[in-house]
Amino acid sequence: MNGIQASLVRSVGVLLIAASVAFSVAPAPLSAQDADGPYPAMVTLIPNPRTDLTFARDVAPIIQANCETCHRDGSVAPMPLQTFEDVRAFAPLIREKVSKRQMPPWPIDRTVGVTEFKNDPSLSVDEIRTIVDWIDSGMALGERTDLPQPIAWPDGKTWEFESELGTPDMVLRSPIYNVVADGMDKWPTPITPLEDVQIDGEPLTRDRWIRAVAVRPHSFEARRVFHHANPGLIMPGEMPDPMEPESGRIKLIDSAVGTEGRIFPDNQGRLIRPGSSVSWGLHYHPYGHDIEAALEVAVWFYPDGFEPEFYSMGDVQMQTSMTTYSGNFSPRSGARDPSGRFHDHSDILIPPHSVATVKGVHVLDRPAMMHSIRGHMHLRGKYEVLEAIYPDGRWEVVNKLNWDHGWHTLFLYEDHAAPLFPKGTVLLMTSVFDNTTENPHNPDPDQWVTGGDRSIDEMGHIRLGLTYFDSEEQFQQMVQERERALEERASDLAGDQ
């Protein structure tokens, strides 16, 4: 980060509380050397590394806690990092990936906007320096007795959130789909009626409120061909538009590599009714041999009879291109504004060897809390920016998502940092595409690129996890609670120093 940026961040301060909106901007502790890459904040390494570090005592606990979840046999990463030998063999690559903050993956610009997230896996600067210094000083093993206890990883059949919420109340599975070895990308959208699903041995007979949802491919093999899914809920009596099967429904959850589920904030949830169906909205791509694939979705409910105060829309998809979609659902029924259309990328046109942008605008017609953000672009994607202009005229960057096609990360805000937007807030969305040779993912910079579903076409949308407030009073109450929470945090932080 340069001096001007640094002082700006400092003058904004840790906690920004203003008239009718409150979210926190934490100062970015790192230097931003390569502002354009997917992971811009590199760690500035100081010379004179510590030389007394050992793998067993200092490094293994960091790797175990932050890498093993993906870097172990049977998980998503290409190689395990579970032993001294594993880590030593990959030391040069590990040094590069952690110091550039490319691992663990967290493709967001840390120098602007909201920086506090529930699911941020990033290493601290100290942890990065420990790994790098240990590598630079010759990689001592140390005493094996210092090694942390190995983690007993589940066999891959437990759910995200299971340790917090227990076994899911309902598990749905999409019909098996055969993804043939040499086929094309496929977008099957089968529909599963909830009548076929049992909850505690009973069919769903009453309205229930969803507290959390998690998704996983049904097998390790299926993970290989799974690109993403947008499972949606079709309420009783509602039919999707046959021309556009992803329309006419609200999202149950969406999922892709990097997004495995969500828990709604306290007292917020999604309604599910008897007689509803799930439409799966899958995207598979071939992987060298024939693979039978299905997706599983686990749902945890609020207790029977409990109705949370706020109905959450879950993810609302906002286009950066030609925003005709208004996002105005009626809160309780979940009905969609008929003027809204989900898919419209018709104004994306990217000339060869160029950097291009598309923009979208959305004005909130009700106050809202935003609990998550997730970008979506394809191979020419560079970054997406969400800005907010408040009714009082103040303007702010909410987040800049640095697109990395390998990671469709869902960024879940900490409760005290989730932006609160007053009615009338203008949300500005910009997608920036790079169709030059500078973009390492670019399959062919000589091509014109238009909007479309294939990875070689482009898309530009941002999904906001939104909960709308039915009344201004509810919203003001939320803002006051937030201000109190932030003041408490500020005094706790001051007390710690």
Number of residues that bind ligand HEC (CB under 6 A): 20
CA distances from 47 to 28, 34, 133, 137 (A): 22, 20, 9, 11
Q: Please, which residue, 73 or 496, has the CB nearer to ligand HEC?
A: 73
- Which CB, 160 or 384, lies closer to ligand HEC? 160
- Give the per-residue contact string, 67-106, with ligand HEC (x = CB under 6 A; - = no): x-xxx----xxx--x--------x--xx--xx----xxx-
Q: How far is CA 5 from the centre of its chain?
A: 26
Query: Residue 247 pairs with which residues in a beta bridge?
Result: none
CB of 248 to ligand HEC, least distance (A): 33
Taking a C-beta distance cutoff of 8 angstroms, is the pair 79, 71 a contact? yes
CB 318 within 8 A of CB 429: yes
Query: Least CB distance from residue 412 to ligand HEC, whole Å?
Result: 14
Looking at residues 98 to 157 of the shown chain, list those that interact with ligand HEC (rule: CB under 6 A).
98, 103-105, 121, 123
User: What values do phi and psi take at 23, rounded to 5?
Assistant: -150, 165
Least CB distance to ligand HEC at residue 407 (A) = 7
Q: Which stretch binds ligand HEC (CB under 6 A): 63-71, 278-286, 416-424, 429-437?
A: 63-71
Q: How far is the CB of 103 from ligand HEC (least distance, A)?
A: 3
Give 159's DSSP letter.
Answer: P
Instruction: Rank residues 81 and 398 by Cβ distance to ligand HEC and give the closer one.
Output: 81
3-state secondary structure of 359: strand
Name the minimum Å distance from CB 212 to ligand HEC: 19
**Nearest to ligand HEC of 351, 440 (CB atom):** 440
Helix ranges restricted to H, 140-260:
162-165, 220-225
Taking the least distance from each CB to ligand HEC, the nearer of 70 and 335 is 70
- Calculate the CA dihedral of residues 276, 280, 281, 284 and round it to 10 degrees: 180
Residue 38 touches ligand HEC, criterion: CB under 6 A = no
Which residues ranging from 209 to 238 are in contact with ligand HEC (CB under 6 A)?
none
Amino acid at 226: F
Rounded distance, CA 484 to CA 29, Å? 26
| Contact with ligand HEC (CB under 6 A) among 351, 406, 440, 443 | 406
Q: What count of residues does the chain have? A: 497
Burial 5-31 (b: 16+ CB within 10 A, else e): eeeebeeeeebeeeebbbbbbeebebb
Q: Which residues contact 265 (CB under 8 A, 6 or more apart)?
A: 312, 369, 371, 415, 418, 467
Pairing of strands 268-272, 310-319: parallel
Residue with tokens 């925003």: 323
Q: Least distance to ligand HEC from the beta carbon of 93, Å?
A: 4
Q: Identify whether the C-beta of residue 74 lies closer than 8 Å to the C-beta of residue 376.
A: no
Interaction residues for ligand HEC, span 410-429 (CB under 6 A): none
Torsion 470-476-481-483 (CA) sign:
positive
Nearer to ligand HEC, 77 or 428 (CB): 77
Taking the complex as a whole, how short is the minimal distance between the CB of residue 71 and ligand HEC, in angstroms?
A: 5
Q: Are 404 and 105 spatial neighbours (Cβ–Cβ below 8 Å)?
A: yes
| Closer CB to ligand HEC, 18 or 93, in the complex | 93
Cα radius of gyration (the chain): 23
Q: Per-residue contact track with ligand HEC, 294 to 333, x per CB under 6 A? A: ----------------------------------------
Closest distance to ligand HEC from the beta carbon of 106 (Å): 9
Q: Which two tokens stand for residue 489?
A: 């945090």
Shorter beta-carbon distance to ligand HEC: residue 225 or 250? 225
Min dist. Cβ of residue 406 to ligand HEC (A) = 5
Q: Which is nearer to ligand HEC, 57 or 97 (CB)?
A: 97
Rounded Cα gap, residues 313 and 467, in angstroms: 6
Contacts of ligand HEC in 150-209 (CB under 6 A): none
203 vs 440, beta carbon nearer ligand HEC: 440
Closer to ligand HEC by CB, 111 or 122: give it.
122
Residue 494 CB, nearest distance to ligand HEC (Å)? 32
From the CB of 258, what's the least distance to ligand HEC, in Å?
A: 7
Contact 19, 392 (CB under 8 A): yes
Q: Please give the residue ranges that form the binding site for ligand HEC (CB under 6 A).
A: 66-67, 69-71, 76-78, 81, 90, 93-94, 97-98, 103-105, 121, 123, 406
